[in-house]
Chain A
Amino acid sequence: MAEAPTAEKPQEKTQKPIVPFLRIPADGGKPYLQGSRCKDCGATYLGGRMACSKCFSTEPMEDIKLSDKGELHVFSIVHQSAPGVPTPYVAAIVDLPEGVSVRCNIAGVEPDPQNLKFGMPVQMTTETIRTDREGNDVVAFSFRPA
């Protein structure tokens, strides 16, 4: 049984990150990627972890704010994707200086292999890409040539 609807609450529209490891500071600060570092072996991860998959330490991890600058590791130009996803686009792996790799789109370049150089410096940007079912703005990140 569905609960009877209560009085309409004025719903406040908020910004929500597309993935939990994209952090949007409440004070209006610049969004950033959150990572965690194993205090025992130093392995770094995108997002949070219950334990270290490198050394198995269960010590609470150090929460780290990841750099918004990185370099392009590899890429693919995607011409055929899931239904409804516009193509072509550049899918890539970007390495951050903390030792974390991020899967992302490379924006700001024509999707052609000639425009992408291994190791090229890239910079993260964020933007509102969609509205969810509750009317919240969904914020995503991408990287573009620095």
Chain B
Amino acid sequence: MRDVAVIGVGMIKFGRYPEKTVPELAAQAILLALKDAGATMKDIELMTSGNLYQSNAMIGQRILQVIGQTGIPIINVANACATGSTAFREAYMSVASGAYDMALAVGSEQMGKMGLLGGGGGGGDPAYSTEGVLGSGLMPAVFGMAGVEHMRKYGTTQEQFAKVSVKNHKHSMHNPYSQYQTEVGLEDVLNARVVSWPNTLYMCCPTGDGAAAAIVCSMDKARQFTTKPIRIAASVLTSDPWTQRDLTMPDINTLTRNAAKEAYEKAGITPEDLDLIELHDCFATAEILHYENLGICGEGEAGRMIDEGATTVGGKIPVNASGGLLSKGHPLGATGVANVCEVVWHLRGEAGNRQVEGAKVGLAHVIGLGSACTIQVLEK
């Protein structure tokens, strides 16, 4: 495998765009990324398109019909919440393998106000729907229970989970791409209506629309386009291995730990070398678990880590300087590419008022149930 760099990124502000089509949203992000790279569609040899809800409708091809049909291979990718990040990894792999010199990864989604996912089943007869009868397979409950498991093991409190929301919303104030740029206090978070205990409304990511794009290129060729290539030091994808409860209660910890271990080995770093992390805070509970899963603190220490402010911008290891999914939004297919954009901007020193000063190494993490985990390690 050869060295690959990100040479251009672009995203649109996440939000609600009911008057736009998905190809229009994705095209905006691609054009921004191409401009950022100083490239055109003629330079792109392969495209991967991450989109969950339209993955069965040749969405990648329809995107290029808006901005330029060059006849290149297009791969439509779906991998739950890890859809965009898996598309990014496929673009990376196609260049790292030597098969192509330059590839484009785009992630897009239009969710509107579509809320909770899942439910249904029973071959179409709603009488056999298990939602609310046999517990809940909906994400708020799944991540609620994952947080409760951490409470059980380590005595973590609802207040500690709530502090994640306070921190990420504070970060979002400086991110013009964030769907919400609203500060919330601890009492606001705790007093908000409960969605799935212990997660209240502000501890759940909003749904919405969005698009993001990244252009990856062999390191040899990258310097023709940019003086600031960002090296992809590792790009890892794992699925859930067998664990005792996994089939009943998705084990979001083990596959993240496996991905982190592999990513650190491939990148030749330890968690201490990281300057910033964009991780998958689909719910506030998830972020706490991933501090330990990514190895930035010891077992059972994540609650203390949020108490001490270690993961706030300016702290020991800033997490979700973008505002995280809790503020930025989580248009499923776009998410994984957008967090690559965010890390790239920090490594280039272009993150404005939310800039993590002197950032040299960053990590982008996404998890999709059930289950897929991606980790990208990016280096200046």
Contact = CB atoms under 8 A, between A and B. Distances in A.
Whether chains A and B associate is: yes
Interface of A: 18-19, 43, 45-46, 53-54, 73-82, 85-89, 91-93, 95, 99-105, 113, 118, 129-133, 138, 140-142
A76 B125 contact: no
A135 to B, nearest CB: 10
A76 B248 contact: no
B305 to A, nearest CB: 22
Contacts of B197: 76-79, 113
Contacts of A86: 132
Contact of B140 (A78, A88, A132): A78
A37 to B, nearest CB: 13
Nearest to B245: A101
Contacts of B194: 77, 79, 88
Interface stretch (B61-69, B145-153, B173-181, B356-364): B145-153
A138 B249 contact: no
Nearest to A116: B148
Interface string B115-151: 1101110100101111111111110110011001100
B244 interface: yes
Given A79-B194, A129-B133, A91 B141 contact: yes
B195 interface: yes
Contact of A104 (B129, B134, B196, B244): B134
B116 A105 contact: no
B196 A105 contact: no
B247 interface: yes
A103 B140 contact: no
A80 B116 contact: yes
Contacts of B196: 76-80, 91
A11 to B, nearest CB: 15
Given A79-B195, A91-B136, A101-B245, 19 more contacts: A19-B130, A73-B245, A74-B249, A76-B136, A76-B140, A76-B148, A79-B196, A85-B132, A86-B132, A91-B135, A91-B144, A91-B145, A91-B196, A92-B145, A93-B245, A101-B248, A105-B133, A105-B135, A138-B128
Contacts of B149: 73-74
Given A79-B194, A80-B196, A82-B116, A89 B128 contact: no
